[in-house]
Structure 1
Amino acid sequence: MNNKYKLLVIEDETNIRSFVKTILDTNGYQVLTAGSLRQGMLVYSSHHPDLVLLDLGLPDEDGMSFISKIRRSDSTPIIVLSARTQENDKVTALDAGANDYITKPFGTAELLARVRAALRNRRYEGIQGGEDVNGGYRFKDLEIDYARRLVRVREKEIKLTQTEYNIVALLSQHAGRVLTYASIIQAVWGSSDAGSIKKLQVNMANIRKKLGSRPGEKNYIVNELGVGYRMQDEA
């Protein structure tokens, strides 16, 4: 297997850096590494990787600085690998432009799934804002026709309100990526107020009911508690 994707791992802890590099090497990725933010910036500018795995607690500067510097000009996917488990740390990183946030410790399967999702999301963004060549999105029994604003589950049309459709379409165009509550609210309503999160939660409850979501099952939309929502893009 050689998928040709070039990944940069910026992590100061040698054992974690080696662990991540081994996993990615074994799965056919080209892996570059750095142990500090400064070194990471140098490697990034020299090699232009397809994806960055970033620790926030770096010795010379906080990893958040890397996100803000890269996002001034590039949309390269960034997955944060951090021991910081507070919801506000996750929200801050995601709102700053990180594509995903994995809390340490993490397993091999989870890491690889998140990498695949972030790389797919980058590919979506290169095709008219997330639409595939047929102007639609499909995952398991869920099908979205962007041109006709239609949503089907098991080939049966699902009647969504305009707002509900806008939320589903937005999440599907960033499938595999966590979108924070604030970013969804901004994209769908254009502004936020004191009741915005409640409004989003009510719409999401209606969407999940209409899509046939059931407790304990792998559903189309996952709630990352206190952070935001993610549309699944693989079983």
Structure 2
Amino acid sequence: MTDIPGRGLVLVVEDERPIADLVRLYLSREGFGVHVERDGAAGLAAARRLRPVACILDIALPGLDGTEICRRLRADGDWTPVIFLTARDDEVDRILGLELGGDDYVTKPFSPRELVTRVKALLRRASVTAEPDRVRSLGPLRLDPGRRSVTVDGAALTLTATEFDLLAHLLGRPGRVFTREELLAAVWGYASHAGTRTVDVHVAQVRAKLGPSAGLIRTVRGVGYTADA
């Protein structure tokens, strides 16, 4: 069943009915349309058919799990923002989900209000545009906030919304060292209780996509990260 979208349609793939119903309720209150599926194959089909503004994927699903749904969407070139729902002790699954292109995760049990806040923050980041003169360059790397595009030596890169915002934040002040807690607050919009491992995984993903230019994002041991030519 699909609710009539107001702020856009969010796809929720969650096999536990009480959780799915609670998420639907809170998202609907905020003006989002909500479509719920309860197994992985149906969730993937819905994501391809409905083109939601965001996907909330439980990792442990019947059939295809949430990480496989995300992997297949990214392989299709679909970079719709993805938030994973995970069990509190499934760190390996959370990291794998982020490595496959997920933007964020929430651990069970979770506050539905926090989940809605995460969705709204992620969509704000994905829709933000800036003035044309805010283009940022570092060596062969060029980032255009207005177009939300990144190129290296003229070749376009495909980044998730979160990867783009992380790179943009680092390039906003080249040479400035940001702690992981600062990056969590600035890019994800929440405090360090969420786990700084999230930052490490996303930095690794950005570096992998930068290829030979990965050294532009430098680790400052014991502190954090900086964009430094």
TM-score (norm 1): 0.61
SS in 1 for 2:222: helix
Query: Partners in 1 of 2:89 and 2:125 — Cα distance?
Result: 24
The Cα of 1:30 is off from its aligned counterpart by 0.5
Segments of 5+ residues of structure 2 without an aligned counterpart are 136-142, 148-167, 191-195
Q: Which residue pairs with 1:16 in the alignment?
A: 19
CA shift for structure 1 position 71? 0.8
Residue 181 in 1 paired to residue 197 in 2?
Answer: no
Q: Distance in 1 between matches of 2:172 and 2:12?
A: 40
Q: Which residue of the other structure, out of 204, 213, 218, is the alignment partner of 2:224?
A: 204
Q: Pairwise mapping of residues 203-222 of structure 1 onto structure 2 (< 5 A)? A: 203-204=223-224
Out of 33-42 and 123-132, give the one that drifted further.
Answer: 123-132
Does the CA-based 8 Å contact 2:177-2:220 persist in structure 1?
no
Which residue of 2 is the match for residue 97 of structure 1?
101
| 1:183 Cα deviation after fit | 3.5
Q: CA distance change for structure 1 residues 51 and 202 in 2, over 3 Å: closer, same or farther?
A: same
Cα drift, residue 122 of structure 1? 1.6
Residues 14, 20 of structure 2: 8 Å contact kept: yes
Asked whether the equivalents of residues 59 and 86 of structure 2 are also in contact (C-alpha less than 8 Å), the reply is: yes
When the two chains are superposed, the root-mean-square deviation of aligned CA atoms in Å is 3.8
Q: Give the C-alpha shift of residue 104 in structure 1.
A: 0.6
Q: How many residue pairs end up in the alignment?
A: 176
Aligned pair 1:111/2:115, yes or no? yes
Of 85, 88, 99, which aligns to 2:89? 85
Q: 1:56 aligns with which of 50, 59, 63?
A: 59
Which letter maps to 2:66? G
Work out the CA distance in 2 between the residues paired with 1:173 and 1:124: 14
Give the percent of matched residue pairs that are identical in Structure 1 and Structure 2. 26
8 Å Cα contact 2:15/2:37 also seen in 1: yes
Q: 1:150 to 1:5 in 2, by over 3 A?
A: closer
Residues 105-144 of structure 1 correspond to what in structure 2 (within 5 A)?
105-124=109-128, 131=145
Compared CA separation, residues 82 and 168, structure 1 to 2 (3 A): closer
1:156 corresponds to: none
Contact 1:91-1:180 at 8 Å conserved across structures: no
Structure 1 unaligned residues grouped into runs of 5+ = 134-145, 152-160, 207-235
Higher Cα Rg, which structure: 1
Q: 1:190 aligns with which of 214, 222, 226?
A: 214
Shift of 1:172: 8.8
Using the size of structure 2 for normalisation, the TM-score is 0.63
Runs of 4+ in 1 over 4 A off after TM superposition: 125-130, 167-175
The answer on whether the counterparts of 1:76 and 1:122 sit within 8 Å (CA) in structure 2 is no
Task: Verify the 8 A CA contact 1:82 1:103 in the aligned structure 2.
Answer: yes
Confirm or deny: 8 A CA contact 1:9 1:54 kept in the other structure.
Answer: yes
Residue in 1 that maps onto 2:8: 5
- Residue type of the alignment partner of 1:14: R
Could you tell me how far apart the structure 1 residues matched to 2:48 and 2:101 are?
18
Matching residue's letter, 1:48: R
In 2, Cα distance between equivalents of 1:3 and 1:109: 18
Residue 116 and residue 77 in structure 1: after superposition, are their counterparts in 2 closer, same or farther (change >3 A)?
same
